[in-house]
Amino acid sequence: MALRIACVLYDGFLLPDVAGPISAFEFAGVVATGGYRIEAVASSARAVRSSAGITINAADYRDLEGCDIVLLPGGISPRDPAAYRDILPFIRESGRLRRRIIALSSGTYVLADAGVLEGRRVVTHWGLAAEFMERFPDVALDVANLFLRDGHIWTCAGINAAIDVALAVIAEDYGAAAAQRTAAGLLMPFRRLATQSQRPALTEAATADGRVTEVLAWAQERLHEPLGVERLAGRAALSIRQFGRAFQRSTGMSPAKAIEHLRVERARAAIEGGARAFDEVADRFGFGSPDRMRRAFLRTIGRTPQQLRREQRLADLRRRRSGGHASQTR
């Protein structure tokens, strides 16, 4: 039985935020039993105009006969709640029913205005981070991660990350093999780490200051060593204050936070690649101890190394028992 996706549209939605993940979900139906049934909905039955000027015909969300997943694209003007005000009741209802909600890029604004993000950690595009934090100071925003799952709510950083989220959801529903075949069909890599997050965006942003770019590249080769801000600033030949300001301006995060994300990213890859001893992983990537590594994982991705390993084992077990497909029981 296909899982039902409601793609929620509003005037000015970003077309790539819809086309990318929908293509992934559509292709998953070719490689996985069940697949997805996708329906576009809006505040009324009408043709909804995207930011590119292309329209998509949508049904009234009130006529929707239930759904498993809500897909919420970003918009060209997330600063203007008037663009999406009429769909907020549906988002609130979906939050109350604990449907899986996937908010793409500035779609996080819609979730925040709907009041469904209380006590949750979310991601949005790094270029929107400062404005988002000012507008929604009570929402815990992570400006580094590519995408993030907190309970039944998924958020992501941008257009390419929207496909990464879709692949992660497909893996959850039908197993890693199905997601991998979907990615291959889309000529996409499978799978970028969630904690790899906005690393390409951070690197590109840092090119405005070559010293920051060089320090990031230098640090990635020395994660096992102490990398305090004093040492990083010295590498850039700047005072600590100058370096901190330049780094924040270029990447949208503090040097300490960036180093922690780099370490978590590499450690997670090692653990998911089969590394057994947490103390060895913690030492290899500069955490100092398994307990410090555990706390860093919780801060960065909201899960411990033990939970990641347990989830992976359970997912493998479910796939073996179901002949390669995750259970669709909800």
Domains in the chain (CATH in brackets) are: 3-192 (3.40.50.880), 196-311 (1.10.10.60)
Q: What is the pLDDT along the chain (330 residues), one digit of tens a residue?
A: 899 999 999 999 999 999 999 999 999 988 877 899 999 999 999 999 999 999 999 999 999 989 999 999 998 766 678 889 999 999 999 999 999 999 998 999 999 999 999 888 898 887 787 788 889 988 888 766 788 889 899 999 877 788 989 998 998 898 888 888 888 888 776 555 554 445 444 555 555 567 888 898 899 889 999 999 999 999 999 999 999 988 887 777 789 988 998 898 888 878 877 778 999 999 999 999 999 999 998 887 777 898 878 876 775 665 566 554 433 333
pLDDT tens digits for 195-228? Answer: 444 544 455 555 556 788 889 889 988 999 999 9
Under DSSP, is residue 118 helix (H, G, I), strand (E, B) or coil?
A: coil
- In our burial notation (b when 16+ CB lie closer than 10 A, e otherwise), range 80-111 reads eeebbeebbebbeebbeeebbbbbbbbbbbbb
Q: Tell me if 9 sits within 8 A of 41, measured CB to CB.
A: yes
Distance between CA 150 and CA 99 in Å, rounded? 13
Helix (H, G, I), strand (E, B) or coil at 291: helix
Rounded to the nearest 5°, which phi and psi values hold at 156?
A: -145, 170
pLDDT in tens, 109-135: 999 999 999 888 898 887 787 788 889
205 contacts: CB under 8 Å, gap ≥ 6: 126, 250, 251, 252
Contact 21, 166 (CB under 8 A): yes
CA-nearest of 88, 87, 97, 102 to 18 is: 102
In whole angstroms, give the CA distance from residue 270 to residue 250.
28
In sequence order, what are the residues at sequence separation of 6 or more whose Cβ sits closer than 8 angstroms to the Cβ of residue 139? 112, 117, 118, 120, 122, 132, 133
Alpha-carbon span 162 to 123, nearest angstrom: 12
Query: pTM for this one?
Result: 0.64
Polymer length in residues for the chain: 330
